[in-house]
Structure formats: structure tokens, C-alpha cells
Amino acid sequence: MVTDGGRTTAPPELLYLLHGDPSELAEALAGMRAADVADALRDLGPDAGAKVMAALPFDLAVQVFDEPELDRFRADIIHRMAPESAAALAEAMSADQRADLVRELQESDRVKLLKLLDAPTRRSLEMLLDYPPESAGGIMTTEFVSIPETWRVEQALRYIGEVGRAKETVYAVYVLDGEQRLAHVVSLRELMVAERGAVVTDVGDQRRPLTVRPLTDREEVARMISKYNLLAVPVVDEGGHVLGIVTVDDVIDAIVREQTEDVQKFGGMEALDAPYMEISLVRMIKKRAGWLCALFLSEMLTATAMQHFEGEIARAVVLSMFIPLVMSSGGNSGSQATSLIIRALALHEIRLGDWWRIAMRELPTGLVLGTILGVIGIIRIEAWQHFHLFDYGQHYHLVALTVGGALVGIVCFGSFAGSMLPFLLKRIGFDPASASAPFVATLVDVTGLVIYFSVALLVLRGTLL
């Protein structure tokens, strides 16, 4: 009875069936869940995928096409289907997934498909396509249950039984006033436990319903659904008319996508718009080269800084040996601070105005962490000298002191700069998640060099320098 959440039929078997008896293939598929068929289709590729789609019973084919995981793959399959079959499929799909599909179609396929759709479907589609895909309007569906405010519970339950099959969810019921504006939201659970003769507006929470606007960011919608444990949230226009609803499963998909983008940005690149294995090498290189070049150009400042200290390096080559160690410690502490702040900002644990309180936490944290590393650094140099593993010259005490002192300053600065960068980016209108680990490291590297050589000048003047 236990499944591992994986496939019920492995793709190789499907592939085998594909070249065998079509009735066997159809039988194998009919026993699978839509999400598993979608998985199998992705592995099979678009040509075989189109054949499988043709072999599927219509209802299952619709469910498979409603799987957001199919992604741009759907467009490839539609491209290979007869336009009439494609239109029948599109009309039966849920409104939000249909809009996603049409967004991904090639121009010529889109024109063909739109012509074949019936008028109401086309209108609903055009409305959804007007909204950006990352907004509430872009992920909402128009198939929700709405009832007039004069109805009683009995009537509402009977109505849900009649229309329930065709709606995205029946668990939230939207009660409209005489002007078709949202007056109340009641859950099916509340209706089920209510007295059958009660008026629907008297059932359930009497507060003004939670709503979002069509242009609300999907992350904000996700936060609201998750915070208030909703199964769906209505999207209303300025006049209070319900345009559609966003359901909890759309939101999970949105959360997962946003997270992927954030991780990739934090890794120091543009977010990919397709799974790793499906994106072409050329596109991937483009997504990575931009940030990599920008970071490289900024990092060139380290060369400029090093040129500035050329004299010091030539006089005390021993100093250059600790440059990578000292610099990387600044980058590492900065990366820690940045990841903490990005996440706390994303979860709304902290706000823009909190930057000062954060700075007051990060500076002492950096001081302690820097002191720990500084002490380890000093011990390392003294030990190597003591056990004759390397000779740092007669002034090795001072060299150790330089490294230790620089580490305190650099780790302190790294923690501070790493925690402030996300605030700064947010303040000037960028995504704080763009404060990637490499970005912070680059920022800290240049300053780190300056701190290191300044400490060296202070400690070693008159001896090595």
C-alpha cells in the first residue's frame, strides 16, 4: 500500500509498449495517475509523448495536461497534434493551466489554437493572458463556485453537488451581493456543519473576506494562503468583483519555483527558466556568463589594490602567503550573514527599517567570529615557526599579529557588509536574493585586501615594511 511517491510504471516499459500493441499501452496508462503520466511524458520526449497523449482516454489526457510539471513540454506536444484535438483538449483544461499552455506555444500554434476555441473559453483566456505570469491574475483560475447572498445552506449544498465536478475547488464558496460583488466567503466544511435552513451569509467567519488584487505578486499570495491556512484566496478588482481564485496547489508550485529562483540567484547567476537537464547549453552559458563577467570585472579591483601595495609585497613576500586565507574568511562570514538576512527578509521576519538593529547584531557577531579565527591564525603561524615547518623570518611574531588583527577586521567587515547588502538592494528596488554569495565575496575581497595591508603597515612599519 505504501508508495515512494515515484512512478508506478517505469518509462522504459512505456517506451517498449509504445512500439507494441496500442491497446496494451492504453491499458498500462489508464492505471497511472496523471502526475505519473506527465513524468513519463517528460522522459519520453515530445514525439513519443504526442503518441502517448493520442492513446490516452480523453479525461486522463486532460488531467495530464493540467499538470503544471509538464511545463513547456505541453507546447511541444500540442505542436505535434492535430489542431482539432488540441483545441478539444485546451477547452477541457482548467483555465489557469490553459493560460500557461498558451503562453508557451509558438506563435503559429497559438494563432491556430485560438481560432478553434469557443467564444467563452477565448474570452476567459484573453483575460488571464493580460496578467503577468508572476501575479495573482497570472496564476488564478476562473472556475470557482459563487452563489447569491440570499441563498440558504440547503440550496448551496445542492448547487455544489450539481456543479462541483467542473470547478477547480468546491471547498471555498464565494457569496456575491446583488451587484455581483464579493460579500462573504464560506467554506464547504462550514456549510456542512451548519443548520440547513440558515442563510449562507450567516454561516462562518463574519469578518471581511481576505482577498488579493490581480497584480498582487504570487509570493505575496503564497504568504497569505500559508499564513491564514486558506485553501484558496479570491482575486477581486477595484469594484470588489471576483475575477478568479488562486488555490493552494497553485501556490505550492509558485513557492517551489520562487525558491528555485532564489537559490540560483544566491549562487550568483540569473535564474533558469527550465529544469537543469532540459535547458540548452547555450542558454545556460548565457544565464551564467552575465553575472560571472560582472563579478570578474568588479574583482579586477583586487588587482588594482594589489598593484597599489606592490612595494609592500616585494619587501615582505611573506605577507602574500596569507592573502587567500584572509580574503576568503571575509567572503565566508559575509556569505553567512547574507543568507540569513535574505531569508529573514523573504519570510517577513524583518523589515527594511530593521537594518540598524541587524547591524547592531552583526558587528558584535563579526567581532567574536573574527577573534576566534584570528586566534587560530596566530596559533597556526607560531606553530609552523616553532616546529620549523616554515620560516616566516625573524619578525614572525609581528607577521602572526598582522594576520590575526586583519582577520578580526575583515570578518567584522564581512558580517556587516554581507548583512547590509540585501537591505541596500531592496531599498533601491532590486531583489534582495540577488545579493549572492559571490557578490558579497567580491565586495569583501577588495576591502579585505585594503584592511590587510593597512594592518600590516601599522604593525610592521620599521621592521619588515
Looking at residues 70 to 89 of the shown chain, list those that interact with a copy of itself (rule: CB under 8 A).
Answer: none
Answer yes or no whether residue 252 interacts with a copy of itself by CB under 8 A: yes
C-alpha dihedral sign at 367, 370, 374, 376? positive
Q: Which is nearer to a copy of itself, 82 or 277 (CB)?
A: 277
Q: How far is the CB of 454 from a copy of itself (least distance, A)?
A: 16
Answer yes or no whether residue 361 interacts with a copy of itself by CB under 8 A: yes
DSSP letter (8 states) at residue 271:
P
Looking at residues 34 to 73 of the shown chain, list those that interact with a copy of itself (rule: CB under 8 A).
Answer: 35, 69
Looking at residues 253 to 312 of the shown chain, list those that interact with a copy of itself (rule: CB under 8 A).
Answer: 253, 255-256, 259-260, 262-264, 266-269, 272, 275-277, 281, 284-285, 288-289, 291-293, 295-297, 299-300, 302-303, 306-307, 310
Looking at residues 388 to 407 of the shown chain, list those that interact with a copy of itself (rule: CB under 8 A).
Answer: 390
C-beta separation of 214 from 133 below 8 A: no
Q: What letter represents residue 269's amino acid?
A: M
C-beta separation of 224 from 246 below 8 A: no
Q: Which is nearer to a copy of itself, 88 or 344 (CB)?
A: 344
Q: How far is the CB of 42 from a copy of itself (least distance, A)?
A: 9
DSSP letter (8 states) at residue 241:
B
Answer yes or no whether residue 121 interacts with a copy of itself by CB under 8 A: no
The residue within the footprint of a copy of itself, chosen from 70, 75, 77, 182 (CB under 8 A), is 182
Backbone φ, ψ for residue 135 (5° rounding): -100, 165
Q: How far is the CB of 320 from a copy of itself (least distance, A)?
A: 5
The angle that helices 83-92 and 58-65 make with each other, rounded to 10 degrees, is 70
The angle that helices 323-346 and 396-427 make with each other, rounded to 10 degrees, is 30
Distance CA 342, CA 360 (A): 17
Angle at 442 between CA 436 and CA 443, to 5 degrees: 90
Q: How far is the CB of 249 from a copy of itself (least distance, A)?
A: 4
Answer yes or no whether residue 26 interacts with a copy of itself by CB under 8 A: no
Looking at residues 155 to 174 of the shown chain, list those that interact with a copy of itself (rule: CB under 8 A).
Answer: 157, 160-162, 164-165, 169-171
Backbone φ, ψ for residue 348 (5° rounding): 60, 25
Q: Which is nearer to a copy of itself, 15 or 284 (CB)?
A: 284
Task: State the number of CA atoms in the 13 A half-sphere of 56 facing the CB.
Answer: 26
The residue within the footprint of a copy of itself, chosen from 438, 447, 451, 453 (CB under 8 A), is 438
Q: How many CB atoms lie within 10 A of CB 131?
A: 19
Total of chain residues touching a copy of itself, rule CB under 8 A: 129
Distance CA 314, CA 64 (A): 68
Answer yes or no whether residue 114 interacts with a copy of itself by CB under 8 A: no
The residue within the footprint of a copy of itself, chosen from 115, 357, 427, 461 (CB under 8 A), is 357
Residue in 211, 213, 406, 192 with CA at minimum distance from that of residue 319: 406
Among the listed ranges 9-17, 47-55, 76-84, 205-213, the one in contact with a copy of itself (CB under 8 A) is: 205-213
